[in-house]
Amino acid sequence: MKVIWNDQIVDRTEVKIDLEDRGYQFADGIYDVVRAYNGKFFTLDEHIDRFFSGMSKIDLEAPFTKAELKERLAELLNVNKVDTGNVYFQITRGIASPRDHVFPEPTVVPPVFTASTTVVPRNEEKMSKGITAAVVPDTRWLHCDIKSISLLGNIMAKHTAHKKGFDEAILHRDGIVTECSSSNMWMVKDGTIYTHPDGNLILPGITKIVLLRAAAKAGIPVIEKEFTLEQLKEADEAFSSSTTIEAMPIVEIDGTAVGTGERGPVVEMLQQFYIKEIE
């Protein structure tokens, strides 16, 4: 498999990550995941914009333009002959020795960029059956809008849910639902969709943008407003969204069925809109 390593496309085995790479030592970096359908990227511009915005939020100077990055990722997709799959890309603040918490001078220490692909078909069965989730306290930091490669808080939450036998973790801060461990969170009540507003407590999802557009087209009202665990318990439908899972019904929370316990009509409608978008 070929990967991108800085400005080259090389075999995966050729990549050397230094033990003093700040990504490795401090999780000092930004990542993104973009999906391709039928050999073409979906919402690539939005992912690239968020990647650049993340870099700027942590004062990391991009070593390429948006156009150059897009071209490089497209080349990788092509070289690896990915039809439907994901491209993971990340940038770290580079190799700075000796280890020092202070950011190194960007003119002295160039960032390290890597990207790889995986072939992942759409899991239609899962999208129709839905997943289960556990409610877990959101103990992450206060910059959740930054797609940081430091995902310890997220993976600890997911692990907690998995240990109890659930697929996903629904995160909450003092009873307010924020998002899931690796996706945005939504609920439906009396025909209206609710989701947490963007800000520093959640990641501004690209799939969220697509679903907001879908809901507007379908004439389903959406309120981007905080909702509580109590409101979630009374919801008719719940679902989460991300690049890799699209709109995923959550049919059971902490062992209790959501609504009918099956995929609801609102999320099904959003899924159908999504399919039209990616065709």
**What does the chain come to in residues?**
279
Q: Does 184 bind ligand PDD (CB under 6 A)?
A: yes
With 0-12 / 13-18 / 19 or more C-beta atoms within 10 angstroms meaning exposed / middle / buried, residue 266 is: buried
Question: Which residues, 6 or more positions from 10, have their beta carbon under 8 angstroms from its beta carbon?
Answer: 2, 3, 4
Q: How does strand 2-5 pair with strand 112-119?
A: antiparallel
Q: Does 244 bind ligand PDD (CB under 6 A)?
A: yes
For ligand PDD, how many residues bind (rule: CB under 6 A)?
A: 15
Active-site residue identified among 2, 31, 171, 201: 31
Span interacting with ligand PDD, options 20-28, 124-132, 205-213, 226-234, rule CB under 6 A: 205-213
Q: What share of the chain is helix, strand, coil (3-state, %, to 5)?
A: 30, 30, 40
Q: How far is the CB of 45 from ligand PDD (least distance, A)?
A: 13
- 34 bridge partner residues: 87
Contact by Cβ (8 Å): 66, 224: no
Q: How far is the CB of 112 from ligand PDD (least distance, A)?
A: 19
In the complex with ligand PDD, which residue's Cβ is closer, 208 or 263? 208
In the complex with ligand PDD, which residue's Cβ is closer, 43 or 132? 43
Active-site residue identified among 2, 76, 147, 168: 147
Q: Does 53 bind ligand PDD (CB under 6 A)?
A: no
Tokens of 92: 């770290």
Contact by Cβ (8 Å): 247, 239: yes
**Which of 203, 214, 248, 266 touches ligand PDD by CB under 6 A?**
203
179 is an active site residue = yes
From residue 164 to residue 183, the character string flagging contacts with ligand PDD as x (rule: CB under 6 A) and all else as - is: ---------------x--xx
Q: How far is the CB of 135 from ligand PDD (least distance, A)?
A: 16
Work out the end-to-end distance of the chain between its first and last CA atoms, rounded to an integer number of angstroms: 26
Q: Does 150 bind ligand PDD (CB under 6 A)?
A: no
Q: Does 242 bind ligand PDD (CB under 6 A)?
A: yes
Question: Which residues, 6 or more positions from 135, have their beta carbon under 8 angstroms from its beta carbon?
Answer: 169, 170, 172, 229, 253, 254
Q: Measure the CA–CA gap between 97 and 199, rounded to whole angstroms.
A: 35
Q: How far is the CB of 106 from ligand PDD (least distance, A)?
A: 26
274 is an active site residue = no
Q: Assign 260 to helix, strand or coil.
A: coil
203 is an active site residue = yes
**Which of 60, 207, 235, 251 touches ligand PDD by CB under 6 A?**
207
From residue 208 to residue 237, the character string flagging contacts with ligand PDD as x (rule: CB under 6 A) and all else as - is: x-----------------------------
Sheet containing 85-92: give its strands across. 8-11, 2-5, 112-119, 85-92, 29-37, 40-42
Q: Which of residues 15-34 bind ligand PDD (CB under 6 A)?
A: 33
276 is an active site residue = no
> Contact residues for ligand PDD (CB under 6 A)?
33, 154, 179, 182-184, 203, 205-208, 241-244
Catalytic site positions: 31, 147, 179, 203
